[in-house]
Structure formats: C-alpha cells, structure tokens
Amino acid sequence: MWCISQIKNTASKNRIFEKYSGIVYNAGMNRKAEKQIPYFTIILIAVNVIYFFIIEITGDPENSLHMLDMGANFSPLVFEEHEYYRLISCMFMHFSISHLMGNMIYLGIVGYNFECRIGHLRFLIIYMLSGFGASLLSSAYYQITKQYTVSAGASGAVYGLMAMVVYLTVKYGRRTNRAYLTYRILILAVFLFYSNFINADGVDVAAHIGGLAFGFLLSFLLLKPDEKKH
C-alpha cells in the first residue's frame, strides 16, 4: 500500500520512488516486489484458521475454560503460574468465526500490500512483537485492576500493523499518490469501525492500545528511509 510524490511528466511516472524501511523502489523494483509471494501473511492466516477449527472441533470457542485449556491469555496464569507462552498462543485464538474473519481480512489486506515491500522479516517482527506487546499490556492491566478476564485474538498484532500503516502514511504521505492514500485511510476507518462498534462486545481495549504502541515503536525503529540520493 504506499508512497509516491506528485509526478509532472510521463517519463517520471515510470520511475516512482517508494522510500522506507531501508529500501528504495523504482518502477522495475516495484514490479519485482509485486511478483513476490507474501508467504508470512499466508502462513499466519493459515495457522489462525487451522487452530480455530481445532478449537471448534475439540470444544466450544466461546467457552472460557476450553479456551484456557487451548492457551488463551489469563493474567493469574501468566504472572502467578508463569505460563508465559499464553502471551503468544492467545494471538492465534479466536472466540467466533466473525472474530477470526475480521482479523484475518485486515491481515490479508495489509500483508498483501506491505510484506514484500518492507521485507518479509520486518513484517513478521512487527506483527509478532506487536501481538506480544498487546498481550503483555492486556495481562498487566487485568492483573493490576483484578479484572480476571480470559482474552484471545489477533487484534493486538493487527493493530500493530495498523500503526505501521499510519506511521508510513504520516511519515511518507507527501510521496504518496493521493488516491492511494485515500484508499489506505479508508481501509483503516472501516477496520476501526468494525472492531470498535459493530463488533464491540468484549473488546480488549488494553490489547488494542498495546498493539498500537508497539506497532508505532517498531515501525519507527525498523522502517527507516534510504538516505542515498537517486
């Protein structure tokens, strides 16, 4: 999804630069990136979908005890029983098919447009560490407030990707085609509306804030513009 400046002639339109994450793309490189496969996006979606059906087959995903057995996040088990793996496993768990679909659709859209452009490893790092940060902040919040809530979902990691999109838009928006920029912002608005209004029941706000915070921080650290002049 992003990044070009206003072009005044036809020749210049064939050499559009998208500069971020330490990589400079010209028109030829863009075509090469578009031919690459966003394999981490595909793998992440596959793992989430497969694990959801495993949870569905072995029990009820809306049953808190079953979700705990399958690895959902629960602050007393994390901080008192030291079951830290739950901070990661809960990222691949969902309470319903609509919960799963909302997160996977956005992951697919962002991954398809970004993974090959910013780099496979950078994309995976931002996704996984944003999800981990979201789980950690959520657990800490519920532990401190003594609201012992079972939580799960990829939305923390997805909010990290959303932060990445916002960061790139704000940082490099001047190089971005206006129609493309509008398209990206619209995607963000639809996702925010869905996750916070239409699908508002049981929203883990602490996880969303954690995902956004880690997403911005990781984007700042990992997505650096190339300083070379071309």
pLDDT digits (tens, 9 = 90+) for 118-159: 899 999 999 999 999 999 999 999 999 998 889 999 999 999
Nearest to 142 by CA among 210, 94, 217, 197: 210
Q: Is 135 a catalytic residue?
A: no
Q: Is 120 a catalytic residue?
A: no
| pLDDT above 70 (res 178) | no
Band the pLDDT of 205: cuts 50, 70, 90.
Answer: confident
Instruction: Return the pLDDT at 170.
Output: 79
201 φ, ψ (degrees, to nearest 5) = -60, 125
Give the burial class of 197: count Cβ atoms within 10 A of its Cβ; 0-12 exposed, 13-18 middle, 19 or more buried.
exposed
Instruction: Return the pLDDT at 1.
Output: 30
Residues with Cβ < 8 Å from 87, sequence gap 6 or more? Answer: 73, 78, 132, 135, 136, 139
Instruction: Return the pLDDT at 200.
Output: 55
Which is higher by pLDDT, 27 or 73? 73
Instruction: Return the pLDDT at 46.
Output: 97
Highest average pLDDT, of 20-29, 61-70, 168-177, 190-199, comes from 61-70
By percentage, how much of the chain surpasses pLDDT 70?
70
Q: 21, 75, 208, 219: which one is catalytic?
A: 208
| pLDDT above 50 (res 12) | no
Q: Does the predicted model carry a pTM greater than 0.85?
A: no
Give the burial class of 193: count Cβ atoms within 10 A of its Cβ; 0-12 exposed, 13-18 middle, 19 or more buried.
exposed
C-alpha span between 89 and 70 (Å, rounded): 8
Q: 139, 155, 195, 219: which one is catalytic?
A: 155
For residue range 60-116, what is the model confidence (pLDDT) as tens digits? 999 999 999 999 999 999 999 999 999 999 999 999 998 899 899 889 988 988 898
Check whether domain 27-222 has CATH 1.20.1540.10, yes or no: yes
176 φ, ψ (degrees, to nearest 5) = -105, 135
